[in-house]
Structure 1
Amino acid sequence: MKNGLYVFCGIVIAVFVFIRYDFPFLAQASEHKQTSPKLVIPLKNSNGQQAGQAVLTENEKGVNVHINAFGLKPGIHAVHFHEKGVCEPPGFTSSGSRFNPFNKEHGLEKPNGPHAGDMRNIFADTSGTVKTTIVNPRVTLKKGEKNSLRDADGSALIIDENGDDLKSNPVGKSGNRVMCGVIK
């Protein structure tokens, strides 16, 4: 009797895995419905060279940021949205400050924060590659909204050289800006 229960559980798990991974169209019903266009944002490094891309989509949970970047130093990096859609290397200071339409304090761990553009840190593997997805519930891709990344001058996605401590003002000790992508 006990062996039969183990066999039954194993079959149920195998069927779930088979359906979930071999027939993705069946699994889509459980995923969040996309409510906006897909924006493909080329990322460039401080030398102005192509260094990957970010794909932005939006659903009821916020803006999904799918990052696929290379050429970073291995380790933790901060990623933020900045207020201007300009990416002039090498320092990318042309992108302005962090995106903060609601005048909050910097940092996901601050009681009076965070900036709308603050996001969790990302990790580059030993080859300097990042493949990850972040959800930011404080911004939108819908034009005309106060927290829209697609306002008149656009915005930028910035990756910094170090991780963000998630609490220090104004920038969380994250170091220089090393990658940038324009959002329009």
Structure 2
Amino acid sequence: MLALRVATVAIIAALPMTPAHAQDATTVTATAKMMDKDGKEVGTVTFKETPSGKIWGIAEITGVPAGPHGFHIHETGKCDGADGFKSAGGHYTGEMKHGVMAEGGPHAGDLPNVHAAAEGVVKAEFFTDGFTLGEGGKNPLKDADGSAVVLHAQPDDYTTQPTGDAGDRLACGVVE
């Protein structure tokens, strides 16, 4: 039976992305400052552990072509725009196949597509249990070589191995 790790996606147009009640002094968080290929900061992705054990992701990225885009955690915490962000390595697999539509999937780092509005702004929230934020646990983002968040040029088809046919890497952020 396919275990769906990504529980919910909500595209939020004009709501604050961090409600005051959401921050707790004991909450473990991680942030990726998203950079374009020229090294310009274009947004952030914040991850928070929740009492339920799920990770809550909040993304806000600007300067993105309108439409759907693949959105993944990649296996290495490096974002070199000069190499098209190939330095981030492949998807963070967690020893699974790519895509929620694939038997044996999804990758630990497979996240739902995000959508940029006509103005080029992505605002999205999602929940996942595919990884952990600390150095331990199942599929930790902060392992020895780190992890990166990558925004792709095309939507993920949730099936094609090993990348979902999501195209070039538009933006990248090291998870810290």
Distance of 1:40 and 1:114 partners within structure 2: 23
Distance of 2:107 and 2:26 partners within structure 1: 23
Larger radius of gyration: 1
Counterpart of 1:96 (choices 75, 89, 102) is 89
TM-aligned CA deviation for residue 152 of structure 1: 1.3
Give CA deviations for 1:16-74 in whole Å, capped at 9, x if unaligned.
xxxxxxxx87xx5xx79896422232110111111111111111242211101001100
Which 4+ residue blocks in structure 1 deviate beyond 3 angstroms?
Answer: 31-36
1:35-114 matches, within 5 Å, as: 36-59=27-50, 60-90=52-82, 91-101=84-94, 103-114=95-106
Q: Output the aligned Cα RMSD.
A: 2.0
TM-aligned CA deviation for residue 145 of structure 1: 2.1
Distance of 2:23 and 2:40 partners within structure 1: 34
Q: Retained in 2: the 8 A contact 1:40–1:55?
A: yes
1:81-160 matches, within 5 Å, as: 81-90=73-82, 91-101=84-94, 103-160=95-152
Distance of 1:48 and 1:34 partners within structure 2: 32
Distance of 2:25 and 2:59 partners within structure 1: 17
Query: How many pairs were matched up?
Result: 156
TM-score normalised per structure 1: 0.78
Flag the 1:109–1:68 CA change in 2: closer, same or farther, 3 A: same
Name stretches of at least 5 consecutive residues in structure 2 with no aligned partner.
Answer: 1-18
Distance of 1:40 and 1:138 partners within structure 2: 17
Distance of 1:34 and 1:112 partners within structure 2: 37
Distance of 1:112 and 1:166 partners within structure 2: 12
Counterpart of 2:155 (choices 144, 163, 174) is 163
